[in-house]
Amino acid sequence: MRIAIVNDLRMAVEILRRAIAMEPGHQVAWIAYNGAEAVDMCRADRPDLILMDLIMPEMDGVEATRRIMKTCPCPILVVTATVSGNAGKVFEAMGCGALDASATPVLAAGGGIEGARDLLKKIATIGKLTGKGAALPAPAPGAAAGARHRRMAMVAIGASTGGPAALADILGALPAKLQAPVVIVQHVDAQFAGGLVDWLQAHSRMPTRLAIEGVAPEPGTVYVAGTNDHLVIDPGRRFRITPEPLDYPYRPSADVFFNSLCRNWPLGGAAVLLTGMGRDGAAGLLNLRRAGWRTIAQDKATSVIFGMPKAAADLGAAEQILPLDKIAAAILAG
């Protein structure tokens, strides 16, 4: 992959350059030292991926991400030194189209680079997502075609690129005493999950928390998948965390969660697939529609990336394809 580095700290640039060189087949496309330079350089030479810092002079990473995704769209991975301190900006950048976020590697004792392998793993995952894409999982066993369960016993939402901002809009429009749990599977690294919960809580009328192993989801509460493994509902209707499938590039996966609902949540509900790159959630949404769930996908005009919703539309998985500002009302319509 041709990878661009955007960072105002020369030491960080050198560390990132060395980390990229650790993986055969990767090369540095160009280096920019602030967001304004990055926008200009991306227009002139669009790389396969940009590693985007957040705090920079002249133009920060959020605004640079916004302008790049508007004028010369390119996969962007936020790379920030301070995860907890920059959580709000991370989710702003993801709302503008950044795919994910990672901590900046640092020099370790002995001259090694601590965190380089984690960064390279994320780069490899993005390479899969921006390539041909992963194969869709097989339909879930027991997904009964034609079954009708129209009670809104759960609201299940899958999201990726642009998801945080879309989720904030939807949660802000749902009532405080919603008679169903809301469970969110957003593609975000575990180290940012707590910050995402806090950020969404500021927009939600309902209490918002991480989904914890063994907890049964309760009405009127928002739960967010918070690990790099998959969230599922077990036969006892409680949350479980599982590494399987190991080779699935989307972690946590909306498909894995949706398919567990087909098996273990017979009360039905409403399932929503929001903006995002790739195809995660499309097959699972189709299984939920066959099982009688109300299924909704975000439309192209309001999606930052019309990948996941388009995949759902192509499969006939969504009963309704709606602009973002109509989705909350459709969830509540029953």
Boundary-marking domain end, from 97, 130, 163: 130
Non-local (6+) Cβ contacts of 135 within 8 A are none
pLDDT over 90 at 189, yes or no: no
Which residues are bridge partners to 158 per DSSP?
Answer: 185, 273
Confidence at residue 110, expressed as pLDDT on a 0 to 100 scale: 78
Residue 62 within any structural domain of the chain: yes
Residue 145 within any structural domain of the chain: no
Between 149-158, 184-193, 272-281, 324-333, the lowest mean confidence (pLDDT) is in 149-158
Residue 105 within any structural domain of the chain: yes
Give me the domain span that covers residue 96: 2-130
Q: What Cα–Cα distance (Å) separates residue 124 from each residue in 29, 115, 128, 176?
A: 17, 14, 6, 40
Residue 135 within any structural domain of the chain: no
Boundary-marking domain end, from 88, 114, 130: 130
* Mean pLDDT, residues 179-187 taken together: 96
Same domain, residue pair 169 and 205: yes
Report the CATH number that the domain containing residue 102 is assigned in CATH: 3.40.50.2300
Same domain, residue pair 23 and 63: yes
Burial 69-85 (b: 16+ CB within 10 A, else e): beeeebbbbbbbbebee
Same domain, residue pair 160 and 95: no
Alpha-carbon Rg for the chain, nearest whole angstrom, is: 20
* Mean pLDDT, residues 56-60 taken together: 94
pLDDT over 60 at 210, yes or no: yes
pLDDT over 60 at 193, yes or no: yes
Residue 147 within any structural domain of the chain: no
* Mean pLDDT, residues 20-38 taken together: 95
Same domain, residue pair 121 and 163: no
| Distance (Å, whole) CA 26 – CA 19 | 10
| Distance (Å, whole) CA 259 – CA 265 | 10
Active site residues: 160, 187, 280
User: For the chain, how far is it from start to end, CA to CA, in angstroms?
Assistant: 46
| Distance (Å, whole) CA 296 – CA 197 | 23
pLDDT over 50 at 199, yes or no: yes
pLDDT band of 130, cuts 50, 70, 90: confident
| Distance (Å, whole) CA 120 – CA 113 | 12
Q: Are the C-beta atoms of residues 85 and 40 closer than 8 Å to each other?
A: no
Boundary-marking domain end, from 94, 113, 130: 130
Confidence at residue 83, expressed as pLDDT on a 0 to 100 scale: 63
Total count of domains within the chain:
2
Confidence at residue 84, expressed as pLDDT on a 0 to 100 scale: 64
Q: What is the mean pLDDT of the chain?
A: 90
Residue 260 within any structural domain of the chain: yes
**176 — phi, psi (to 5°)?**
-65, -30
The angle at the Cα of 50, spanning 49 to 51, to the nearest 5 degrees, equals 125
Same domain, residue pair 170 and 272: yes
Same domain, residue pair 167 and 123: no
Three-state DSSP class for 261? helix
Same domain, residue pair 71 and 187: no
Same domain, residue pair 161 and 296: yes
Residue 38 within any structural domain of the chain: yes
pLDDT band of 132, cuts 50, 70, 90: very low
* Mean pLDDT, residues 143-160 taken together: 65
| Distance (Å, whole) CA 233 – CA 238 | 5
pTM tops 0.85, yes or no? no
Residue 148 within any structural domain of the chain: no
